[in-house]
Chains A and B, each alone.
Chain A
Amino acid sequence: MDLYEHQARGLFQEHGIPVPRAEVTDSPQGAREIARRLGGRVVVKAQVKTGGRGKAGGVRLAADPPAAELTARQILGMDIKGHTVGKVMLAQPVDIEAEFYVSYVLDRAAGRFLAIASAEGGMDIEEVAASRPEAVARIHIDPVEGVTSAKAGEIADAAGLPARTVDVLVRLWQVLVREDAVLVEVNPLVRTRQGEILALDGKVTLDDNARFRQARWGDESVAHDDPLEAAAAAKGLNYVKLEGEVGIIGNGAGLVMSTLDVVAGCGARPANFLDIGGGASARVMADGLSVILSDPAVKSVFVNVFGGITACDAVADGIVQALEAVELTKPLVVRLDGNNAVRGRAILDGRAHPLVQQATTMDGAARRAAQLANTS
């Protein structure tokens, strides 16, 4: 789960990392008042969970409170790469003397966290790493030791950062560990003309798996932009909205991803990702169907289940029960394969729902679902 910049800034502040004075608001009037409190001249920054907002015009300087109100009015509601701006952060401008980059990221291949640091901050670190790899220090962190002052000193030395950044590097590691983050990034970390070290912009990604021990995260931080995703999340479904016409239900993340690909290979676009898990119970099937059928873009639905631990006859019973609970309004193609597939198919044949058809192979079912979506 990605945090907004202002949330990341809040975490940095709690852990003693120096940040510029700033406040957040969702209204132009609020922006005017904040600008007045911050001394008049402010930077107005769109709060969106995507990069490139500066280039999109989402970060602008305002000379005084009325200008801050006007700028906030222009930025609020703006679309940046498909993200609508709901809030702006107003921050005191800073006289920058030097810009640095520091982050801790998960290195999957090494199974460890990696410190990445550079004295060339402020720009895209991937570009710096590609064009001038020697300018970027990369140091693995031992999970037991963590980042001590000595380790932080090593990172700062390797990257050519001033010694005064050591304290920030230690505290940033504390943010990562104590907040159960999988990414913390400060870009840029700046030295001002007054000699202060400040985290000017930051990114934090929290680990969804750690929710059980991070009670204070609350629900606000998992807000879904898409109403269908929100409805699915409320039912505990693992659903992602996509742009197509064929609704997809399957069991197991890998099989569902594969189902999307096979449908796309048949010349139709999948409308969603929905994994109902290994059990594929009647209740989850009914919940999944109701979410997918409420998507106006959906023209056909493909249920792709492999019966392993839960055999196909139990899955077929679940589909029949789901059809009692949900009114089917679009054609449904079902592919059951695996344990007791023949019995499962017979159960669905027995139900003889006019909108339900079966296919015995995944590829054949995908072709049929794609045809139905493209001809209706």
Chain B
Amino acid sequence: MAVFLTKESKVLVQGMTGGEGMKHTRRMLAAGTNVVGGVNPRKAGQTVDFDERAVPVFGAVAEGMRATGADVTVVFVPPAFAKSAVVEAADAGIGLAVVITEGIPVHDSVAFTSYAKEKGTRIIGPNCPGLITPGQSNAGIIPADITRSGRVGLVSKSGTLTYQLMYELRDIGFSTCVGIGGDPVVGTTHIDCLAAFQDDPDTELIVLIGEIGGDAEERAAAYIRDHVTKPVVGYIAGFTAPEGKTMGHAGAIVSGSSGTAQAKKEALEAAGVKVGNTPTETARLVLDRLETGA
């Protein structure tokens, strides 16, 4: 079953005809994603050939949805145009918008996440690698060939840490991996993913990867304590990050006593989550837990 994305998902790509859009649409198709169209008002009516598959370009998201029944859009448009692209997708009534674009001003993210919520559109991202349900569909830029389908659900702020864990646990495999993004404001949170994995019969264990900044992990810990019965294994990055310096992601900053890795680790452990000290140790905790039976 997986969460948010299955082989039934019909995917549009906003910004498909740009460099990144072309590259990753090809990769998504190779991973089995049912990409049904691209969106670019200036290239409407054209088709783009990806190996054996010709993908039509629509002038608007609504038009693409009418023609194909698309229910997911992946957004690659540049930061200056990302807000209007997401608003357009929400107005068209699409169910899921995966916003890959990095560097979107936070006022724009606040505006479009709030707008999409009103319209009933789930946003994943921005500044995220997207999500993958291995063997079924891949919406975004996650490398599909480093893992396989299985029974672990994964939620993470970080792309490369997601890939690292996907690779370390490639023999076990994943139901769905969701990269929620490293920006201060994101549309889908750790908690949203925990809730979805808890309800997903294909997910047996959940891996939660967090990093410094904000209090999303602390909130996730409280949610786990009250609502999650499946085993959760955690990892937090950024123990050595000094206060006041942004570590790559716009959201990854320790301000005063808040947002530290230690506080996040303690909150998760207090909620019964086993937390690894390194990605490799985290993978081992997952294996141990699955072997002893959850």
From 178 to 203 in chain B, residues with beta carbon under 8 angstroms from any chain A beta carbon are 182, 184-187, 189
> Do A180 and B278 touch across chains, with their CB atoms under 8 A apart?
no
For A306, the chain B residues whose CB sits under 8 A away are 160, 163-164, 167
Chain B residue contacts of A142, Cβ below 8 A: 114
User: Which residue of B has the minimal Cβ distance to A51?
Assistant: B256
A362 within 8 A of B: yes
17 pairs of residues in contact across A and B, judged by CB atoms under 8 Å: A108-B184, A109-B216, A109-B219, A111-B185, A144-B115, A212-B79, A242-B240, A251-B160, A253-B160, A254-B156, A258-B237, A264-B239, A265-B277, A306-B160, A338-B146, A338-B167, A339-B143
Interface residues on A, range: 35 or more
- Docked Cα-Cα span, A361 to B283, in Å, equals 13
Residues of A within 8 A of B184 (CB): 106, 108, 182
Partner of B248, one of A108, A126, A253, A362: A253
Partner of A108 from the list B209, B214, B278 (CB cut-off 8 Å) is B214
Chain B residue nearest to A269 in the complex (CB): B240
- For B94-106 the 0/1 string (1 means CB < 8 A from A) is 0000000001111
B245 within 8 A of A: yes
Chain A, residue nearest B142 (CB): A308
Query: Which residues of chain B are near A12, meaning CB under 8 Å?
Result: none
A293 at the interface (CB under 8 A from B): no
CB closest residue in chain A, given B213: A108
Decide yes or no whether B36 CB sits under 8 A from chain A.
Answer: no
A325 to B145 Cα, complex, angstroms = 32
Contact A258/B278 with A111-B113, A112-B110, A264-B240 known, Cβ cut-off 8 Å:
yes
Interface on B for A, CB 8 Å cutoff? 27, 79-80, 103-107, 109-111, 113-115, 141-143, 145-146, 156-164, 167, 182, 184-187, 189, 209, 211-212, 214-216, 219, 235, 237-242, 244-252, 256, 261, 277-281
Contact at A257–B216, with CB atoms within 8 Å?
A: no
CB of A254 within 8 A of CB of B161, answer: yes
Residue of B nearest to A248 (CB): B240
From A182, A238, A253, A260, contact of B240 by CB (8 A): A260
Measured CB to CB, the residues of A under 8 A from B are: 50, 106, 108-109, 111-113, 126, 142-144, 177, 180, 182, 207-210, 212-213, 238, 240, 242, 250-258, 260-265, 269-270, 273, 275, 278, 306, 308-309, 337-339, 361-363
**Do A213 and B107 have beta carbons less than 8 Å apart?**
no
Is the beta-carbon distance between B247 and A253 smaller than 8 angstroms?
yes
A361 touches B280 (CB 8 A): yes
Q: Is the interface of A mostly helix, strand, loop or mixed?
A: mixed
Asked if residues A260 and B104 are in contact (CB atoms below 8 Å), the reply is no
Q: A252 contacts which chain B residues (CB < 8 A)?
A: 158-161, 163, 248
In the complex, A253→B79 CA distance in Å?
Answer: 19
Which of A208, A265, A278, A306: most chain B Cβ within 10 A?
A: A306
Contact assessment for B248 and A273 in the assembled complex, using a CB-CB cutoff below 8 Å = yes
CA distance A212 to B248 in the complex (A): 18
Partner of A254, one of B27, B106, B211: B211
Neighbour of B238 across the interface among A108, A111, A242, A261, CB < 8 A: A261
Tell me, in angstroms, the Cα distance from A263 to B239 when the chains sit together: 11
Nearest CB of B to A270, in Å: 6
- B161 CB contact (under 8 Å) in A255, A269, A363: A255
Q: How many whole Å from A189's CB to the nearest CB in chain B?
A: 22
- Complex partner residue of A213 from B80, B241, B252, CB under 8 angstroms: B80
- Shortest C-beta distance, A88 to chain B (Å), equals 22
Question: Is A111 in contact with B110, judged by CB distance below 8 angstroms?
Answer: yes
The interface residues of chain A lying within 8 Å CB-to-CB of B115 are 144
Tell me which residues across on chain B come within 8 A of A177, comparing CB atoms: 107
- Is the pair A254, B250 in contact by a Cβ cutoff of 8 Å? no
Chain A residues whose C-beta falls within 8 Å of the C-beta of B113 in the assembled complex:
111
Given A108-B184, A254-B249: A242 and B242 within 8 A (CB)? yes
A30 vs B266: C-alpha distance when bound (angstroms): 52
Residues of A within 8 Å of B187, CB to CB, are: 111
> Smallest CB-CB separation from A243: which chain B residue?
B242
